[in-house]
Amino acid sequence: MTTFPMADVQRARVLVVGDIMLDRYWFGEVERISPEAPVPVVRVARREDRLGGAANVARNIAALGAQATLLGVVGDDEAGLKVEALSAEDRIAARLVVDPLLHTTLKMRVLGRQQQLLRIDFEEQPSANSLTQIHALFAAQLAHHDVVVLSDYAKGVLAQVELLIQAARAKGIPVFVDPKGHAYQRYQGATIITPNRAEMQDAVGRWSSEHELETRAQKLRQDLALEALLVTRSEQGMTLFQDGHRFHVEAMAHEVFDVSGAGDTVLATLAVMRAAGLAWDDAVRWANRAGGVAVGKLGTSVVTAGELE
């Protein structure tokens, strides 16, 4: 693989739109069982907040050295303020819509001795007014970016994703989509979608051979008028499908500690490398390497340019 294209990466401008979350971790020790119920008692020793969802994609883009702008919706609450503060710390240009009727999407994880014991989710759908503001911000930001990334976690910000794709493609800007659900017609006209193995099975059904996967992937790519489709396949690596072209790369040999957020890292790296001018196959190689590093870390995390060299 070639050396990391730092100069080109630093010039890359990526606009991320999607469902913003705050990942909250409470780390502690379990030394006894509660007398009130048969559950462990965690004595919390450390607390940590990290950007999640679309914000984690933007965080990974910035960590690689590229320019990241983030559009999304947060609530008028403590978690929303934390998202704003963490974005500034990570050199992300955050353009956040504050919805007073909404609580910021928050995933709180309680861990004892590095093992996740409990996750508590707080989430609500954004209002129609918030979506209108997102679309206006998107239209204003488009001309200043090389690539658009749409990070869909089915929390409502991309409820009208078709309009965003159309607006970007009308200006000739590539659109990278991390999809959710099985109704992939919503992503018609995007440049590429990056489903993981389970998401791909939801969309096209299970396959029993590589040939069957290729047939179904190429049909989906053609039906959605995509330039490319990347299936991330965990320990089986990842496979890129284009018109008349299949490119597979084996998974990097890393100990898997935590897969949460690895898809964000892969998507971010792929978008950055394409914005930096790399060919699809080379961009996939870098994304695969970044994903291999990410799964060796706890929770939603970033991979830096230094870790890829």
Residues 99, 178, 264, 281: which is the catalytic one?
A: 264
Task: Please check whether residue 70 is in contact with residue 14, taking contact to mean a CB–CB distance below 8 angstroms.
Answer: no
Residue 90 falls in the annotated catalytic set: no
Closest CA to 164 of 153, 180, 152, 175: 175
Catalytic residues: 264
